[in-house]
Amino acid sequence: MILKFFNVILLNGGIMIRTLISFVSLIILSTSYSALAKTKVTWSMESNADRDPIMIEKLQNAYNNSQGNYELVIEFEDNETRLTSMRTAMIGGMGPDIVETPGPSYVKEYHAAGMLENLDSYAAEFGWKDKMIPWAYSSGVFEGSLYAIPKTHESMVMLYNKTLFEENNWKVPTTLEELEDVAGKIKAKGMNVFSYGSDGWQPTHEHLVGIYLNNYAGPQAVYEAIIGEREWTDPVFVEALELLKKHMVDEGYWSGSLENYYAIGWDDFHAQFANRGAAMMTIGTWTFQATQLGIGASDDEWGWAPLPSLSSQSPDPNFMIAIGTTMSVNANGKNKDGAIDVLNWIMSNKDKVLDIAKDFEFGEMVVPLTLSSSDIPTDIAPQVQDYLSEYARITGEGNYGYCTWTFWPADPGVHIWKDMEVVWAGDISVEDFLYDHQKMWDKARKNGDTLPVPLRN
Amino acid sequence: MKIFSNKNFVAWYFVFPVAFIHLFVIGIPSLASLALCLTDWRGLGEINYIGFENFIELFDDRYLKKAIINNVIWTIAFLTVPVGIALTCAYLLTGIKRGQMFFRLAFFFPYMLASVINCQIWKYLFHPIHGLGGFFERIGWDFLAVSPFTMKSTSLFAVAFVDGWHFWGFLVVIYLTGMYQVDNHLYEAADIEGATKFQKFRYITLPMIRPVFVFSIMIIIIWSVPVFDYVYILTGGGPAYSSEVIANYMYSQAFERFDVGYSSAIGTLMFFYVMIIVALFGLFRKAGWDI
């Protein structure tokens, strides 16, 4: 019998052994694959054709190559669609591991619904607080605990055509009088004072409202109104918005007229600034890359300056502080440890993060890590280098204002831009507008919807 | 068991899959939306019952009133301009023997384009720098120097014009189909009696296409309620709420202000408004109208 058995094996051994070896190899391979396979960490990110390849190369791939436990997968999507689908998924107890939002008002909503992971213990373990600019860290603190880390922070600046200003001996305005004086001269040359418009992004109005509130009424008054120690109906805010209305509607500072301001979009106002259709531009620092590619590629040189002081109540130059996007960890995510690891990689690799920001001329992925002057890359536009130094110096001295999209709760945050059109149209007075605004703040305060605001020195 | 194999039940087997999908995709969300209008839900987190608070706020909302008025203007505009042009063109087309298909295609073409494309075309045409306005300005005319989408006095009509431009070709096709159903003998008899072209249209064509015509009126009234895409893309409801419509306002409340409860209350109003229109048409049918 035994001989007969061996005889069968010898006769059919080739096939049998091969099958056996294949089967065993398959088991070994699949076991080793599961041992080697990294756990996936998902991140839903706003898509942008120019930005995405850099994010893949310098964030996703760089992180994945740096360790062997997790595989970061960034899923890019149009922001509006992304926010709706992410919200739906999170209501259903799913969604990405890393939750990216457009700002603290969104974080507030997710936090109130218990959908975000408390990051306090990780912040303490990895020392995140010491690595970040204090005001930026506190923007993610809700009810005493950290729930979000800014992915990018930004401010508003005034850009100007330096060559044009030098040719005409114009002075870059630092006060209201100087602004109105140079505006008259610019208009006399047949140009628009500022290049800007809201087509494609109606909330653009809030950039201007924020500038006038902070640079006329002053950051201290704005701060007091945010924390509820001053009413928005205060005459100083009325005067600020009356001045904005005068400059927007009567003087047509932005793109020549209110109607043109409504009709001009991102590409148009960059083109207008680049081809001398306008001498200046009021815009956020997210524009640095586009500015460098626009007017930066022309024969003219561009410069920047802090926004002019518009009254004696705001005499010193200030920078409005703002959070562009935030990063949080999904409390119901499949891989919370992985998500924390990605955030810690970002917080711990200053050089890598600066390298990404450098590719966007510090208009994007400007994680608010504490920087020294030696950290600022030298291979970026000199204007951006100057801005980074000045921003750090001036905000370090406590001269900072407040951008509406970071410190206004959702309802008044929409009212400030959407209903401003009604004021500009002359349908309601500034007083009535601010009366409604105050009512919305009262309601938000009563419902606990206000957002974190850093204490003022 | 015999009842399930009954011939009368066969139709229900075919209807069931669609009805089942409708129940989950439309029925349950609609009921949920009706329930949410009595809450303060912000789209995330806990839901609190607040009774009729949203409706009280709703009747005090000046911008909602503005949106409702704009919807009424929109409906009237659509019931007159595109219907008038489409009826005239369809009637004139019936008299064209050669090249009729070209005109039918040309009129219908905008209807086949996505709303985003239609909007971008007109946005560029009315653009103050790159559009017709910029072109005329360069040759010394101020005509169209300002985009009608950005003026408070014209924005609603400008958006309605673009939507109407895309829509009227559809009406031409359905009116034309109705006109081809009219018995030719009636026109021959009218010719013998010496009727003019207008008289033939007034006394033969119009009464004979009444079912199609009334159907078009009904869909225009119903479709004018949730109008959204053209407003959203072209003006966002601005400037200063001048082109705001109910659906756009509802969207803003839900996705910009996170006030889903209030937004659902607006949706409920729209639902009842459409129900009233459908019920009215049902009554007309019962009263013997041939619709």
Banded model confidence at residue A25, pLDDT cuts 50, 70, 90: low
From A273-287, B39-53, B61-75, the region with the lowest mean pLDDT: B39-53
| DSSP H stretches of helix in B95-196 | 100-112, 115-125, 132-138, 155-180, 184-193
Banded model confidence at residue B287, pLDDT cuts 50, 70, 90: confident
Task: Evaluate if residue A373 carries a pLDDT over 90.
Answer: no
Q: Are A202 and B257 within 8 A, CB to CB?
A: no
The 10s digit of each residue's pLDDT in A273-287 is 999 999 999 999 999
Banded model confidence at residue A2, pLDDT cuts 50, 70, 90: very low
Across chain A, mean pLDDT equals: 91
Task: Break chain B into its structural domains and give their ranges.
Answer: 58-286
DSSP state, residue B26 = I
pLDDT of residue B288: 78
Q: Which residue of A has its CA nearest to B255?
A: A84
From A40-44, A132-136, A158-162, B243-247, the region with the lowest mean pLDDT: A132-136
What are the chain A neighbours of B128 within 8 Å (beta carbons)? 259-260, 263-264
Q: Please, are residues A137 and B66 in contact by the beta-carbon 8 Å criterion?
A: no
A175 and A130, same structural domain?
Answer: no
Residue with the bigger pLDDT between A154 and B101: it is A154
- What are the two backbone dihedrals, phi and then psi, of residue B217, each rounded to the nearest 5 degrees? -65, -45
Task: Evaluate if residue A26 carries a pLDDT over 80.
Answer: no
* Residue B49, beta-bridge partner list: B39
Is residue A16 a part of any domain in this protein? no
Size of interface A-B (CB pairs under 8 A): 74
Task: Evaluate if residue B259 carries a pLDDT over 80.
Answer: yes
Task: Evaluate if residue A33 carries a pLDDT over 70.
Answer: no
Q: Which of B211, B103, B122, B198 is nearest to B161 (CA)?
A: B122
What are the chain B neighbours of A418 within 8 Å (beta carbons)? 238, 252, 256
The 10s digit of each residue's pLDDT in B241-258 is 999 999 999 999 998 888
Burial (CB < 10 A; 0-12, 13-18, 19+), residue B128, is: buried
DSSP SS3 for B49: strand
Q: Are B240 and A424 within 8 A, CB to CB?
A: yes
The 10s digit of each residue's pLDDT in B71-90 is 999 999 999 999 999 999 99
Is residue A306 a part of any domain in this protein? yes
Q: Tell me how far the alpha carbon of residue B159 is from its chain's centroid.
A: 13
Banded model confidence at residue A17, pLDDT cuts 50, 70, 90: low
Is residue A348 a part of any domain in this protein? yes
Average pLDDT, integer, range A190-212: 95
Task: Evaluate if residue A16 carries a pLDDT over 80.
Answer: no
Is residue A227 a part of any domain in this protein? yes
Query: Which residue carries 């990895």 as its tokens?
Result: A126
pLDDT of residue B53: 94
The 10s digit of each residue's pLDDT in A288-328 is 999 988 988 889 999 999 999 999 988 888 999 999 999 99
Q: Which residue of B has its CA nearest to A412?
A: B257
The 10s digit of each residue's pLDDT in A401-419 is 999 999 999 999 999 999 9
- Chain A residues touching chain B at CB-CB below 8 Å: 84, 87, 90-91, 109-110, 112-115, 202, 257-260, 262-264, 268, 272, 410-411, 414, 418, 421-422, 424-425, 427
Cis peptide upstream of residue B239 (ω within 30 degrees of 0): yes
Q: Are A411 and B257 within 8 A, CB to CB?
A: yes
Is residue A230 a part of any domain in this protein? yes
Q: Please, are residues A316 and A309 in contact by the beta-carbon 8 Å criterion?
A: yes
Task: Evaluate if residue A27 carries a pLDDT over 60.
Answer: no
Banded model confidence at residue A14, pLDDT cuts 50, 70, 90: low
Average pLDDT, integer, range A83-95: 91
Q: Which of B270, A48, A265 is nearest to A56 (CA)?
A: A48
Enter the CATH code of domain B58-286. 1.10.3720.10
pLDDT of residue A18: 58
Q: Are B44 and A112 within 8 A, CB to CB?
A: yes
Q: Which residue of B has its CA nearest to A262?
A: B150
Q: Which residue of B has its CA nearest to A114?
A: B45
pLDDT of residue B10: 81
Residues 6+ apart with CB under 8 A from B268: B33, B34, B37
A189 and A96, same structural domain?
Answer: no
A247 and A227, same structural domain?
Answer: yes
Using alpha carbons only, how large is chain B's radius of gyration in Å?
24
Banded model confidence at residue B286, pLDDT cuts 50, 70, 90: confident
Q: Which of A273, A240, A257 is nearest to A404 (CA)?
A: A240
Task: Evaluate if residue A166 carries a pLDDT over 90.
Answer: yes
Across chain B, mean pLDDT equals: 91
A335 and A274, same structural domain?
Answer: no
Last residue of a domain, one of A372, A392, A408: A372
A421 and A288, same structural domain?
Answer: yes
A431 and A286, same structural domain?
Answer: yes
Is residue A84 a part of any domain in this protein? yes
Task: Evaluate if residue A21 carries a pLDDT over 80.
Answer: no
Task: Evaluate if residue A378 carries a pLDDT over 60.
Answer: yes
**Facing B257 at nearest CB: one of A264, A410, A425:** A410
A334 and A311, same structural domain?
Answer: no
Q: Please, are residues A404 and A240 in contact by the beta-carbon 8 Å criterion?
A: no
Q: Are A421 and B241 within 8 A, CB to CB?
A: yes
Task: Evaluate if residue A34 carries a pLDDT over 50.
Answer: no
Banded model confidence at residue A6, pLDDT cuts 50, 70, 90: very low
For testing contact with chain A, the best of B116, B126, B257, B259 (most A CBs within 10 A) = B257
Is residue A395 a part of any domain in this protein? no
For testing contact with chain A, the best of B258, B262, B263 (most A CBs within 10 A) = B258
What are the chain A neighbours of B54 within 8 Å (beta carbons)? none
DSSP SS3 for B111: helix
- By percentage, how much of chain A surpasses pLDDT 90? 80
A332 and A310, same structural domain?
Answer: no
From A202-206, A444-448, B40-44, B248-252, the region with the lowest mean pLDDT: B40-44
What are the chain A neighbours of B127 within 8 Å (beta carbons)? 263
pLDDT of residue A15: 56
What is the rounded distance in angstroms from the CA atom of residue A256 to the CA atom of residue A241? 19
The ipTM of this complex is: 0.85
Q: How many domains does chain A have?
A: 2
The 10s digit of each residue's pLDDT in B177-194 is 999 999 999 999 999 999
Banded model confidence at residue A12, pLDDT cuts 50, 70, 90: low
Q: Tell me the torsion sign for CA atoms A420, A426, A431, A437.
A: negative
Q: Which residue of B has its CA nearest to A258?
A: B150
**Structure tokens belonging to residue B91:** 């009637």
Domain holding A202, by residue range, is 156-320+400-446
- What are the two backbone dihedrals, phi and then psi, of residue A265, each rounded to the nearest 5 degrees? -110, -175
The 10s digit of each residue's pLDDT in B131-177 is 888 888 878 888 788 999 999 999 999 999 999 999 999 999 999 99
Q: How many of the other CB atoms lie within 10 Å of CB of B43?
A: 19
State the smallest CA–CA distance between residue B256 and chain A in angstroms. Answer: 7
Q: Are B240 and A427 within 8 A, CB to CB?
A: yes
Average pLDDT, integer, range B87-105: 88
What is the rounded distance in angstroms from the CA atom of residue B15 to the CA atom of residue B20? 9
Is residue A56 a part of any domain in this protein? yes
Q: Please, are residues A408 and A105 in contact by the beta-carbon 8 Å criterion?
A: yes
A341 and A301, same structural domain?
Answer: no
**Facing B238 at nearest CB: one of A84, A414, A421:** A421
What are the chain B neighbours of A427 within 8 Å (beta carbons)? 240
What secondary structure, in 3-state letters, does chain A show?
CHHHHHHHHHHHHHHHHHHHHHHHHHHHHHHHHHHHCCEEEEEEEECCCCCHHHHHHHHHHHHHHHCCCEEEEEEEECHHHHHHHHHHHHHCCCCCCEEEECCHHHHHHHHHCCCECCCHHHHHHHCHHHHECHHHHHCCEECCEECCEEEEEECEEEEEEHHHHHHCCCCCCCEHHHHHHHHHHHHHCCCEEECCCCECCHHHHHHHHHHHHHHHHCHHHHHHHHCCCCCCCCHHHHHHHHHHHHHHHHCCCECCCHHHHHHCEHHHHHHHHHCCCEEEEEEEHHHHHHHHHCHHHCCCCEEEECCCECCCCCCCCCEEEEEEEEEEEECCCCCHHHHHHHHHHHHHCHHHHHHHHHHCCCCCCCCCECCCHHHCCCCCCHHHHHHHHHHHHHHHCCCEEECHHHHCCHHHHHHHHHCHHHHHCCCCCHHHHHHHHHHHHHHHHHCCCCCCCCCCC
**Residue A430: which CATH number?**
3.40.190.10
